[in-house]
């Protein structure tokens, strides 16, 4: 039985695991992204961890990461990994450390591959997976194939400009979607709303340094007025962005994945309302917005592992 290492590199966490041919986990672990200062350091950390805790061999490595150019197999100008450098030859770095073949894929694409192989999208030919975390990304399947674009960079939903005079984004633009509905964007909006609130909010009891999107959603479920306002603002922006995707590509199924998606139906239902409002009337009732059913099962890690298996299968055919 073959085994594969799947790695999901996010702006906040790196999650990785060894999976077998049937994509059952043999070993898994995680670390904070900011705990390593370079891709080389990350490769060494994972290599050392596996050397100590997993004794089996690896038949390939799949890595999902933000701002991946799948043609060059590099991370290029990732806003949330900028301390690692502008151009990061991740494939070369990990192959040098592990002496294994590596396939690099955009993290949102990895989530979409995971959804296609293991989730609700097994039977769907056209669908989108939107990842909500430190960043905002999208993996898109068209006619049963992952769409990556002419330059390998398709799916950067988080960097569509929502407000031309809006918040500064690490990508260099202003008003990107990510600056409003990414993890840091939600926290910033919450703090702004709390400044103008007289104290009638559960979130005033949370230290500003401890406010997270999940704390906001938790308060919203208790009908906290500030939290509900923030959730509604996030849902409106997200719903608008999803409507753009639906109107452009006519996908009937859209999945939410990532840490922010763990808020569940309180975000999904409000987002769905705005999505339908902005979607063309002849298709708006046909679109299904769902929380990924493999979101809590490290779908991006599974997707990254599935990507390397697919790549090897294609080479052998």
**Cβ contact 203:189 at 8 Å:** no
The vertex-72 CA angle with 67 and 78, nearest 5°, equals 20
- Which residue, among 96, 105, 120, has the nearest Cα to 64 in the 3D structure? 105
pLDDT band at 214 (very low <50, low <70, confident <90, very high): very high
For the stretch 54-108, pLDDT in tens is 989 999 999 999 989 888 999 999 888 888 999 999 999 999 999 999 999 999 9
- Three-state DSSP class for 225? helix
- Say which residue, 290 or 298, is predicted with more confidence: 290
Q: Which two tokens stand for residue 191?
A: 């703090």
Distance of CA 280 to the CA centre of its chain: 26
Parallel, antiparallel, or unpaired for β 61-65 and 102-106?
parallel
- Which pLDDT belongs to residue 299? 83
- Which pLDDT belongs to residue 317? 55
pLDDT at 37 over 80: yes
pLDDT at 310 over 70: no
Q: Is this model's pTM higher than 0.95 or not?
A: no
- Which pLDDT belongs to residue 312? 57
pLDDT at 218 over 90: yes
Per the DSSP assignment, residues forming a β-bridge with 46 are none
Domains (range + CATH), the chain: 3-107+297-316 (3.30.420.40), 120-292 (3.30.420.40)
- Which pLDDT belongs to residue 264? 81
**Cβ contact 221:266 at 8 Å:** yes
- Three-state DSSP class for 230? helix
**Cβ contact 206:214 at 8 Å:** no
Supply the mean pLDDT for the chain: 92
Taking the C-alpha atoms of residue 142 and residue 124, their distance in angstroms, rounded to an integer, is 9
Q: Which residues contact 167 (CB under 8 A, 6 or more apart)?
A: 174, 175, 176, 179, 180, 185, 188
For the stretch 156-211, pLDDT in tens is 999 999 999 999 999 999 999 999 999 999 999 999 999 988 778 999 999 999 99
Q: What number is the average pLDDT over the span 3-29?
A: 92
Q: Which residues of 74-109 are buried (b: 16+ CB within 10 A; e: fewer)?
A: bbebbbbbeebeeebbbbebbbebbeebbbbbbbbb
Strand blocks (E) in 126-242? 127-132, 136-142, 145-146
pLDDT band at 279 (very low <50, low <70, confident <90, very high): very high
Q: What number is the average pLDDT over the span 211-239?
A: 96
In the block, residue with structure tokens 């996908």: 251
**Phi, psi of 247, rounded to the nearest 5 degrees:** -65, -30
- Which pLDDT belongs to residue 296? 74
Burial of 144 (0-12, 13-18, 19+ CB in 10 A): exposed
In the block, residue with structure tokens 């192959």: 95
């Amino acid at each position: 039985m073959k085994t594969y290492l799947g790695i999901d590199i996010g702006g906040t966490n790196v999650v990785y695991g060894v999976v077998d041919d049937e994509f059952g986990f043999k070993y898994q672990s995680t670390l904070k992204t900011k705990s390593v200062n370079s891709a080389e350091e990350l490769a060494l950390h994972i290599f050392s961890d596996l050397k100590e805790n997993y004794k089996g061999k690896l038949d390939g490595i799949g890595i999902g990461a933000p701002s991946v150019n799948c043609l060059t197999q590099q991370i290029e100008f990732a806003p949330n990994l900028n301390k690692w450098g502008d151009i990061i030859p991740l494939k070369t770095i990990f192959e040098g450390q592990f002496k294994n073949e590596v396939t690099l894929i955009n993290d949102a694409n990895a989530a979409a591959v995971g959804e296609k192989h293991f989730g609700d999208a097994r039977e769907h030919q056209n669908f989108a997976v939107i990842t909500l975390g430190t960043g905002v990304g999208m993996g898109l399947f068209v006619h049963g194939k992952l769409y990556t674009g002419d330059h390998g960079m398709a799916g950067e939903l988080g960097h569509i400009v929502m407000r031309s005079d809006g918040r500064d984004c690490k990508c260099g633009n202003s008003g990107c979607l990510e600056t409003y509905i990414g993890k840091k964007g939600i926290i910033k909006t919450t703090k702004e709303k709390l400044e103008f609130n007289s104290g009638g909010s559960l979130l005033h009891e949370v230290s500003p340094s401890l406010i997270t999107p999940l704390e906001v959603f938790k308060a919203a479920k208790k009908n906290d007025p500030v939290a509900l306002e923030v959730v509604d603002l996030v849902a409106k922006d997200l719903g608008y962005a999803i409507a753009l995707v639906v109107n452009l590509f006519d996908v009937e199924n859209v999945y939410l994945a990532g840490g922010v998606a763990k808020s569940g139906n309180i975000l999904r239902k409000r987002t769905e309302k705005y999505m339908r409002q902005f979607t063309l009337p002849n298709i708006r009732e046909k679109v299904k917005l769902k929380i990924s059913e493999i979101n809590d099962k490290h779908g991006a890690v599974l997707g990254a592992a599935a990507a390397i298996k697919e790549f090897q299968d294609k080479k052998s055919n």
